[in-house]
């Protein structure tokens, strides 16, 4: 278990050196995105039923810019609007990631993501996408919202706030030393799978006694 300080964007070589259990402090620009954001990215950009509408092109460019070799953070923050009209993060812990399992592999592939930050881990499809495309799952501490908000130094932009609401918008943020633990790596290991398997054996012992 090692500790790394990484600056976004992250190279494929760097991400492939990470192993489950490593502590990482991330710095640079990333975006939040959760349920509505993932559905939108798939339906509008990745598997569109019609060409990407003119109105959505600027967001597409902005997302490509921040997500390429970048990370997406599963988070619906509490924000405060400053008197100059800009925004500040007040509380910003991770949300449960597994809801994005149906979307994430395509998002990783399409945008060239190097990481997903969230909590609770993700499933086999995301783990496979991490191996194939060079990405990891970074686990943030669930509920540590004020602590993580302290690492968010600036809100660079916000997209889709009116349509999706504050928690579900894309908040593009600049962070310094955002603390995470690698729980799914490019080598096919997932702490979540390992803990689940061990706890299942324990459950059997405690219920049927074998």
Near another protein by CB under 8 A: residue from 43, 47, 61, 194: 194
DSSP lists the bridge partners of residue 78 as: 91
Nearest to 120 by CA among 104, 146, 98: 98
Asked if 101 touches another protein (CB under 8 A), the answer is no
Location of structure tokens 């496979």: 128
Phi, psi of 97 (to 5 degrees): -85, -25
Smallest separation (angstroms) from another protein to the CB of 176: 16
Question: What residues are annotated to the active site?
Answer: 38
Asked if 122 touches another protein (CB under 8 A), the answer is no
Asked if 91 touches another protein (CB under 8 A), the answer is yes
45, 52 contact by CB (below 8 A): yes
Near another protein by CB under 8 A: residue from 42, 46, 141, 176: 141
| Cis geometry, peptide bond prior to residue 9 (ω within 30 degrees of 0) | yes
Asked if 76 touches another protein (CB under 8 A), the answer is yes
Helix runs in the chain, H state only: 12-17, 35-41, 57-67, 104-111, 124-133, 145-151, 161-164, 191-207
Asked if 206 touches another protein (CB under 8 A), the answer is yes
Residues that bind another protein in the complex, under the rule CB under 8 A: 1, 21, 23, 36, 75-80, 90-93, 95-96, 98, 119-121, 139, 141-150, 164-168, 179, 181, 183, 191-192, 194-196, 198-200, 202-204, 206-208
């Amino acid at each position: 278990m090692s500790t790394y300080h990484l600056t976004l964007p992250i190279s494929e070589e760097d991400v492939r050196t990470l192993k489950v259990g490593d502590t990482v402090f991330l710095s640079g620009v990333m975006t939040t995105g959760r349920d509505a954001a993932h559905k939108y990215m798939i339906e509008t950009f990745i598997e569109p039923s019609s060409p990407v509408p003119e109105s959505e092109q600027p967001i597409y460019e902005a997302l490509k810019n921040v997500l390429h070799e970048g990370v997406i953070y599963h988070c619906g923050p509490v924000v405060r609007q400053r008197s100059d009209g800009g925004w500040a993060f007040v509380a910003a812990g991770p949300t449960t990631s597994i809801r994005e399992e149906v979307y994430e592999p395509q998002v990783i592939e399409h945008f060239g993501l190097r990481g997903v930050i969230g909590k609770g881990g993700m499933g086999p499809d995301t783990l496979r996408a991490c191996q194939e495309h060079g990405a990891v799952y970074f686990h943030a501490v669930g509920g540590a919202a004020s602590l993580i908000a302290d690492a968010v130094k600036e809100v660079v932009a916000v997209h889709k706030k009116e349509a999706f609401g504050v928690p579900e918008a894309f908040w593009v943020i600049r962070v310094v030393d955002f603390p995470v633990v690698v729980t799914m790596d490019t080598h096919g290991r997932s702490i979540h799978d390992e803990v689940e398997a061990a706890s299942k054996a324990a459950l059997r012992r405690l219920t049927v006694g074998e």
